[in-house]
Each structure stands twice: as C-alpha cells, then as structure tokens.
Amino acid sequence: MPASAELIDAFCDQVWLQDGLAPSSLSSYRRDLTAWAGWLDRRGSSLLAAQRPDVEHFLAEQFRAKAKATSIARRLSSLRRFYALQLLQGTLRADPTLRVRAPKLPRRLPKNLSEAQVEALLAAPDPETTLGLRDRAMLETLYATGLRVSELVGLTLAQVSLDMGVVRVLGKGSKERLVPLGRPAAEAVRRYLALGRPHLDRRYRPELFLNARGGALTRAGAFLILRKLAGKAGLEPERVHPHLLRHSFATHLLEGGADLRSVQEMLGHADLGTTERYTHVSDRRRRETYFQAHPHARRLKPHEESPA
C-alpha cells in the first residue's frame, strides 16, 4: 500500500494537471490532507483505510478546537476531492466522506469601497516617480478589470492591448477571457510603459508589473503596496486588499446598470450564483439611497412623530 506522502503527492500532481491550480490552492490541498493523514496515523489508520466515522470525528475535533466553519468546510472539500480521485483510479471502493455533512456557512456579502474611496486610492500614488507610475497603473488596472491579484501579477505585456482597450486574462483552470480596459486605466498603463517600466526592466521580464529590483511583482508585493497607498489615501490599511477592488469593480458595474451575465464573464466566475452576491450589495445600496432621498420615504428620526 502506498505511503500517505506518496498518495498526497500523486493527488496534487493529478489535480494540477487537470485544473492548472495556483500554487496556493495546491498548498491548501497538501496541508489539509497531511493533517488528515497525521490524525489517522495517530489512531493506527491510514488514508485508504479511513471510514466515515473517522471523518466525522476528525471534523468534530476541528469544531472543538474552535476552527472556523470555512476552514472545516475547506478541509472536508479537500478530503472529498482526494477520495473522489481514489475511486476513479480504483484504489478505493467506498468513499468515507459520503453523507458527511459540511458545516453551514454564513452567507457573507462582498465588501467594497465607495466610488469616492476608490478615487482617493487611485490618486494616492506619486505620478512623478517610477514606482508611483507603476502603482497608479496597477490600481487603475485592478479597478478597471476586476482581476484577481494572481491574474494581475501574472499579466504579461503580450496580454494587454492598449489600442483595442482589452486585457486577455488567464484565469482559474487556465480559462481565458477578454476584459475591457477603460480609458483612464489604459492611459495609466501607457504612461507607466513609457516613463516608468523602462527604469525597472533590467532583466527583460515579460510581466507587465515589475518590482523595484526588476523582478516580477508578487502577490505579497501587491498587498503591501495597496496597504501603504490605502493609508496615504486616508483609508483603513488593514481592510484594503486587492480583492476589495475586485468587489468594488463588480458592485459599481451593477449599480451603473450592467447586466449580471456580462459581469460574470468579466469576473471569470464559473457559476452565476457567485456573481449574484453582488446584486444584494447593489440592492441594499439602492434601498438606503431611496430612504435617504425620497421625501415620502425618509425614515423618521427618533424625535419625529408620524402624522395622525
């Protein structure tokens, strides 16, 4: 029987070939399965000998240890994917995760910045410096396209057409999509390419966004840049991250009248239901605006009384 480490390595190789997952996703699978294998080993069992009660006890221990419901759900999802592959390959006859109930997750609405907050953030970089030109182009691109941070840092020069005003994005599962690039974003990228990037490109890198040493900008680098600029813009740095601009992109599009299917395609969501979360944010904003603005709909203040 293969050792746990060999099974986990083979599984990660297989899902990477099938889905083209990002390194962070593969790390999550490996971390979850390694924890599961270690838990089984301490009880004299193994990955291929596990039964449904083992899975339930494992998850119950996570609950008692105060793990988040999202973390527990992710671990169960990792186990399910692992055992589904074992069944497919014939190394297992029964799936121990079958009929194991996942924790109920709260439906969280995406958070986003207001249009005024976005404008303040976009104005934060110094346009007179090389890094300021890069940062402005990066922020404009994030907000104009709704890219994931992994898609942004992986963007190459060849994927951007300023003349056509589009970005060719390689998203999750190596799925390609075309996303429009608005005029302000295209102009910011054009200025960066002409006046900023030549001072950074010491290694002839293909990536659009480079760090101060001339290498490709990383996810961590993008996070740090955004937090620094958020503080400069008067926002709360700890709550500003690249995905927040993706949320803002989607919400502002829907508030501006864009149809849900188009927003889904631009975001690269496989499931329309994922995109529909943004309609709740948009609807809530409309209701708040309505009650604040309409003379016959304004909510009464505590000291006011309704007419008899």
- Among 153, 260, 131, 140, smallest CA distance to 208 is for 153
Which tokens go with 89? 């390959």
Where do runs of H (alpha helix) occur along 90-182? 115-122, 130-145, 149-153
Secondary structure percentages of the chain, helix, strand, coil, to 5: 60, 5, 35
Edge-to-edge, what's the strand order for the sheet holding 166-170? 160-161, 166-170, 176-180
Exposure on the CB side of residue 226, measured as CA atoms within 13 A = 23
Centre a 10 Å sphere on the Cβ of residue 293 and count the other Cβ atoms it contains.
9
The rounded distance, in Å, linking the Cα atoms of 198 and 170 is 25
End-to-end C-alpha distance for the chain, whole angstroms: 81
Please tell me what DSSP assigns to residue 184.
Answer: H
The rounded distance, in Å, linking the Cα atoms of 153 and 147 is 10
Q: Which residues are catalytic?
A: 148, 172, 243, 246, 269, 278
The rounded distance, in Å, linking the Cα atoms of 126 and 115 is 20
- Among 212, 222, 250, smallest CA distance to 155 is for 222
